[in-house]
Amino acid sequence: MTFFRFAPMLKKYKKPYLLIRPGTGEYDQDGVWQAVEPTRIPLRGHFQPVNAKLQQAEGGKYTEDDRALYTTNIHTPGDLIEYKGVQYTVDGPDNRDYCDVNKYLVKKVVANDPV
């Protein structure tokens, strides 16, 4: 199997984004809950709009606010990321065994979106 190295080419187009890991809190000595701020991990990747064919093929699952993320980092489905002040959740990886760059579809987080 041929393995393609696209990471050097991607380096030119990478932009910073944040991986947000939720913090867990704990109770203090008085029994009051003390919340911990989420951890923000700076990473770099390239964001592209989701194409119209994918929006239609998936039955409208994706909108024009959703993005495709190309990165050398590894994410798990459900990860929360922030790019240019907008939060996205990682929907799932695109299986790419032949390449050193990972592709993820990320959905924009909407405050009133039903779960």
Q: DSSP character for 57?
A: H
Calculate the dihedral angle through the C-alpha atoms of 38, 43, 49, 53, rounding to the nearest 10 degrees: -90
Model pLDDT for residues 72-90, shown as the tens digit of each residue: 888 888 899 999 999 999 9
Find the largest Cα–Cα distance for the chain: 61
Q: What is the pTM of this model?
A: 0.74
d(CA 70, CA 67): 10
pLDDT recorded at residue 102: 83
Say what percent of the chain tops pLDDT 70: 73
The residue among 11, 17, 6 whose CA lies nearest residue 106 is 17
According to CATH, what is the number of the domain 7-108? 2.40.10.270
Has residue 4 got a pLDDT over 80? no
